[in-house]
Amino acid sequence: MTPVQKLAGLAVLILVLMAAAAGVTWQVQEWRMGKKLAEQAGLQLRDLAAISNAAAAQVSAEQGKRLAIEQQLATQDQQHTKELSDAQRNQAALRDRLATADVRLSVLLDATDPASDCDMPAAPGTAGVAHAARRAQLNPAHAQRIIAITDAGDQGLIALRACQAYVRTVAPGTLSVRAEAADSP
Same domain, 63 and 120: no
- pTM to 2 decimal places: 0.48
pLDDT of residue 12: 92
pLDDT band per the 50, 70, 90 thresholds, residue 175: low
Same domain, 73 and 125: no
Same domain, 90 and 166: yes
Q: Which residue has the higher pLDDT, 114 or 105?
A: 105
Specify whether the CB–CB gap between 101 and 138 falls below 8 A.
no
- Report the share of the chain in percent with pLDDT over 70: 80
Same domain, 133 and 145: no
Most confident of 18-32, 45-59, 114-128, 162-176: 45-59
> Which long-range contacts link 108-113 to residues 24+ away (Cβ below 8 Å)?
108/133, 108/134, 108/135, 109/133, 109/134, 109/135, 109/136
Same domain, 94 and 163: yes
Same domain, 147 and 133: no
Our count of domains for the chain comes to 2
Same domain, 59 and 117: no
| Range of the structural domain that residue 116 is part of | 106-137
Same domain, 177 and 110: no
Same domain, 126 and 70: no
